[in-house]
Amino acid sequence: MLVGAAMMPHGNPVLNPEDEETGKLAEALKEIGRELSRADVYVLISPHNVRMSEALGVIMAENLISWLGFAGVQLPGEYKTDKELARKIYLEAKAKDLPVVDINFASLSGEYSRFPLTWGELIPLQFLEKRQIVLLTPARHVSRETLVKFGEVVGEVLEEYERRVAFIASTDHAHAHGNGPYGYAPEAEEYDELIMKIIQENRLEGLLEIPDELINKALPDSYWQLLVLYGVLKKVPMKVKRTAYACPSYFGMGAALFIRE
């Protein structure tokens, strides 16, 4: 059963907030952690793990191990995969003819079935009580409709699963706010404001109306995961309990907690 869902950022500033806005964002993340502690399993979709342009990934490795931090910040963490749930998601998506692949490393199971975790997963996980995980990866060169459909499949599987599950979209928003490696584009602020408005109003169908040009200029790291989240919530409608946003660096970060009606 799906007990809740969240949008959570993966930027280092939330770990040690240095301004009021980021502090409020971190507090929202702590609330998400408390709310989702009712779950037995987290299903987490992250843009910073396996990068495949035209295939969605379901990580089947038994052990998920901290490996890659960001900007010198290395976070510990070792997690177990709920392999039964991962397999259910993979098989159901495959049955619906979605471009999904199952991914493992070294061994099919046991101690040598190991896969790396990055800041894209580890930063959200710092705010969550330790649980088993199913790690998913998005694909940017599949259609919007395919991403939403994948989310619908995930939502159906999670709702029917006998354990309590929370779905988490790991997202950072536009990366062109200036003072960073991607320069400045006014579309960055426009994108972030639009995304947060769509989330706050709980009308995720509005994601499908965002022009490609705006996305390409704003340089977000969130759009594709949010489409999957939209698909999940189409199957299991929830209300928005809390949102928060901060932009202490060159990229925007947002949080949102969705709970059942």
Task: Identify whether 218 is part of a domain.
Answer: no
8 A C-beta contact, residue 83 and residue 90: no
The answer to whether position 259 is within a domain reads: no
- Mode of pairing for the β-strands spanning 41-45 and 132-137: parallel
**Which residues does 111 contact at the CB level (< 8 Å), separation at least 6?**
62, 63
d(CA 170, CA 122): 10
CATH number of the domain where residue 138 is located: 3.40.830.10
Name residue 166's amino acid.
A
Domain annotation covers residue 23: yes
Relative to beta strand 78-80, strand 63-68 is: antiparallel
pLDDT at 261: 83
**Lateral strand order in the sheet of 41-45:** 100-103, 56-59, 132-137, 41-45, 165-170, 2-8, 253-260, 238-246
| 180 in any annotated domain | no
Say if 49 falls within a structural domain: yes
Domains held by the chain: number: 1
| Best CA proximity match to 208, nearest among 196, 198, 219, 221 | 198
Contact in structure between 29 and 11 (CB atoms under 8 Å): no
Measured CA angle at 116 (ends 112, 118), to 5 deg: 165
129 found inside a domain: yes
Res 231: pLDDT: 98
Domain presence at residue 86 = yes
Domain range holding 127?
2-172
Task: Tell whether 138 is covered by a domain.
Answer: yes
Predicted local distance difference test score (pLDDT) of residue 166: 98
The mean pLDDT values, 10 residues at a time, for the chain of 261 residues are 98 98 98 98 98 97 97 95 98 98 97 98 98 98 98 98 98 97 98 98 98 98 98 98 98 97 83
